[in-house]
Amino acid sequence: MAKRTTEQQLVLVLLVMVGAALLVSTIYLTSIRNVQVIPIQLRVSNTSGFNIANEKVYFGTVPPGGHAKREILIPNRGNHVAVIHTIATGEVAQWVQIDHPWIAIAPGTQRTISVHLWLPKEAAYSNYTGNVELVTYGLG
């Protein structure tokens, strides 16, 4: 059997370390700890209005072609880093953009994400609903 050079040994060690890191991060990111669902409400009309309640993502009344923005404060009260993927679902999902859909929050801290609603000009006057889902990944 041929003797490995120092360079080959270093490459082998590096490959093993990279493989181990990928395995750990795959396990970490495939372990869903929690899913929090926050309802979205929207009324499309020729007037504008707003609602400041915080138990839902209320976009209020938005005219066709209009834009509205809401913010969600996400605290991490746990002892481990929280990796969170934010997803819009439901009938408004195609109109919603989330500034930072993947975030990591250190223990004892909080982050704010912005949720934007961009209505097409042809949006019909009606009431619409959907959800913002905060999917938390991790082992802790």
Q: What pTM value is reported for the model?
A: 0.72
- SS3 category, 123: coil
Contact 131, 40 (CB under 8 A): yes
Higher pLDDT, 29 or 91: 91
The topology under which CATH files domain 32-137 is Immunoglobulin-like (2.60.40)
Nearest to 31 by CA among 129, 122, 138, 110: 138
User: How many beta carbons lie within 10 A of that of residue 41, not counting itself?
Assistant: 16
pLDDT score of 46 more than 90 = no
Mean pLDDT of 112-140: 90
Sequence ranges of the domains in the chain: 1-30, 32-137
What does residue 107 show for φ and ψ, rounded to 5 degrees? -55, 140
